[in-house]
Amino acid sequence: MPSSPQPDSGARTAGFGALFSAVMLPMFMAAVDQTLLASATPRIASDLGGLSDTSWIAVGYLLSATIAAPLYGRMGDRYGRRNVLLVALAVFAAGSLACGLASTMYGLIGARVLQGLGGGGLMVLSQSLIGELVAPSERPRYQGYFAAVFTVSSVGGPVVGGFVVNHGDWRWLFLANLPLAALAAWRVASLPRPGRSAMRDAPYDPAGVVMFALCAVCAMLWLSLAGHRFPLFSPTSAALAVTAVLAGVLLAAQQRRHPFPFLPLDVLRIPGVGWVCLSIIGFSGTMFALVFLLPIYLQVAQNASAAGAGLQLLPLTIGMVVGSTFNARFSAKTQRSGVLPPWGLGMASLALGALALLPPSPLSIGIASAACGIGFGTVMPSAQIATQMLAGRERLGAAAALMSLTRSTGAALGTAAFGGLAFALLNVQAGGGAGAGLRLEGLSPERVTQAFHLVFAALAVYAAAGAFAAARAPRMDLVQRARADGPAAGRPVSDAGS
């Protein structure tokens, strides 16, 4: 296989400004649209339907992004990441337009699915372009930029969404993407054109795509709807669970046999990568569930406005920026990556436990949110660096696809599972049976508080499991990687728990 060009030459060709604007704007658009509607959810529920299905506004986007991420990674390796990123931007813009024109809840969910099919490519291709065009010694700095953009946009989304909903129509949250997508396409087109890849003629894997989609859709439907849209013990529940398990088993067997599988299992088999992925699932599941549920909790239980709920998420946003910045500086100074995530997720677990046990007040919620944010901010930069180093330059696309797939899977899993738990508890406390619509006007603030305290306790346990996985993940030596840019260069210097 032909060797890739040296990363520093690509960075010089593109220029810092061109590369930064080309990768960070698509990354911003993909991340902000994962959480933009959090503060707008009650308003959308009033305009288009009941509260029970609103989790699928987020889950539909995250699920389609999850399915699309590995596909974009493989296509980027085949046809050039710059070229495929332009396609992803076009799909994302089409989905944004459809969201802005949606007139029903199911129409909006379907448009969000289309938007997510583009959003999955924006994230994974932007990340792999950093690995392709930036020298190893510079990657901590770029990963710090990435973490700052990702965290600010992900958690700043509810702030922007709440402001727009208070002063205008929530549809503008989507229509504003159209000029941004045009600007991003212009900047991406300015990057150097890729050469022909040696992977261009590798076999495709349509069966793997179909089985993965079937497994993911059935699992998310069961997690988000069982207990309030249909009984947990019912033929519908059993059919979804069995289908998800069977599709997963068949997928695992088929992917092992395929010469060029849809899922980046070759990267996942590298020692240490599995623990990194589990820590990301713990981080993203906790963060996205919190970002989705906290604005609902604040508006329904604490009588906050949409804009007020968004502003009360600022401690979480600022905390994530602080955590990611500190992690980047720590890694750059010590030339070691992966040291801080176990401590960060452990702190987030303790903060969520405090949310579950302490009486609610703006001060306690703000302090706990800030602590969660600082902890969350330590995870993704270290995970990106570790996976890129362990995978090597020839598998950068697959490595970036695995990271995006893992983060999207965790986000969809956390939003679906903990959103479903919250709505099931609220449905029981409201006296509704399975299949009954859950409406805002039927909810008591006291019952909402009780239900959400149970959900926060469950999230604390989930974050603690992520901290355990992060403690088992490898610590990476950045000096060694700078000396030899190859697949063997990313040797872990220590393996916690080994």
Longest dimension (CA), the chain: 65
The distance in angstroms from the start CA to the end CA of the chain is 34
* 492-495: strand order across its sheet: 336-337, 474-477, 492-495
Q: Do 234 and 335 belong to one domain?
A: no
Q: Do 111 and 257 belong to one domain?
A: no
Q: Do 254 and 270 belong to one domain?
A: no
The CATH code of the domain that includes 427 is 1.20.1250.20
Of the three residues 214, 240, 261, the one that is the final residue of a domain is 261
pLDDT category at 495 given cuts 50, 70, 90 is very low
Given this model, what pLDDT does residue 367 score?
92
Is 200 a domain residue?
A: no
Q: Do 94 and 151 belong to one domain?
A: yes
Which whole number is the average pLDDT over 348-371?
90
Q: Do 273 and 242 belong to one domain?
A: no
Of the three residues 219, 242, 261, the one that is the final residue of a domain is 261
Is 18 a domain residue?
A: yes
Given this model, what pLDDT does residue 9 score?
41
pLDDT tens-digit profile of 332-347?
Answer: 788 777 788 999 999 9
Given this model, what pLDDT does residue 239 score?
92
Of the three residues 218, 240, 261, the one that is the final residue of a domain is 261
pLDDT category at 464 given cuts 50, 70, 90 is very high
Is 194 a domain residue?
A: no
Is 182 a domain residue?
A: yes
Q: Kindly state the DSSP code that residue 230 receives in the 8-state scheme.
A: B
Given this model, what pLDDT does residue 138 score?
66
pLDDT above 90 coverage of the chain, percent: 18
Total structural domains in the chain? Answer: 2
Is 381 a domain residue?
A: yes
Element (H, E) at 414: helix 396-429
Given this model, what pLDDT does residue 481 score?
58
Alpha helices (runs of H) in 258-313, residue ranges in sequence order: 265-268, 273-301, 306-311
CB atoms inside a 10 Å sphere around CB 256:
9
Which residue did the predictor score with more confidence, 114 or 154? 114
Is 213 a domain residue?
A: yes
Q: Do 117 and 211 belong to one domain?
A: no
Q: How far is CA 259 from CA 146, 203, 255, in A?
A: 33, 7, 8
Q: Do 30 and 136 belong to one domain?
A: yes
Separation of alpha carbons 264 and 454, rounded Å: 36
Given this model, what pLDDT does residue 463 score?
95
* DSSP conformation letters of 115-156: HHHHHHHHHHHHHHHHHHHS-GGGHHHHHHHHHHHHHHHHHH
SS3 labels along 424-462: HHHHHHCCCCCCCCCCHHHCCHHHHHHHHHHHHHHHHHH
pLDDT above 70 coverage of the chain, percent: 79
Which whole number is the average pLDDT over 108-115?
91
Question: Which residues form the domain of 415?
Answer: 7-189+262-495
> Could you give the 3-state DSSP secondary structure of residue 336?
strand
pLDDT tens-digit profile of 245-264?
Answer: 999 899 888 888 888 777 77
Is 199 a domain residue?
A: no
Is residue 88 predicted with pLDDT exceeding 90?
yes
pLDDT tens-digit profile of 371-405?
Answer: 999 999 889 888 888 887 787 766 766 777 788 77
> Could you give the 3-state DSSP secondary structure of residue 303?
coil
Residue 474's beta-bridge partner residues?
495
Separation of alpha carbons 316 and 371, rounded Å: 7
Is 330 a domain residue?
A: yes
Which whole number is the average pLDDT over 139-154?
68
pLDDT tens-digit profile of 155-170?
Answer: 667 777 778 877 778 8
pLDDT category at 265 given cuts 50, 70, 90 is confident
Element (H, E) at 477: strand 474-477
> Residues in the chain, how many?
498
Alpha helices (runs of H) in 134-264, residue ranges in sequence order: 139-167, 172-175, 177-189, 206-225, 235-257
Given this model, what pLDDT does residue 462 score?
95
Mean pLDDT of the chain: 78
pLDDT category at 429 given cuts 50, 70, 90 is low
Which residue did the predictor score with more confidence, 348 or 102? 348
Q: Do 234 and 174 belong to one domain?
A: no
Q: Do 219 and 179 belong to one domain?
A: no
Q: Do 18 and 80 belong to one domain?
A: yes
Q: Which of 91-95, 210-214, 243-247, 389-393 has the lowest mean pLDDT?
A: 389-393
Q: Do 229 and 378 belong to one domain?
A: no
Is residue 351 predicted with pLDDT exceeding 70?
yes
Does pTM top 0.85 for this prediction? no
pLDDT category at 479 given cuts 50, 70, 90 is low
Q: Do 224 and 96 belong to one domain?
A: no
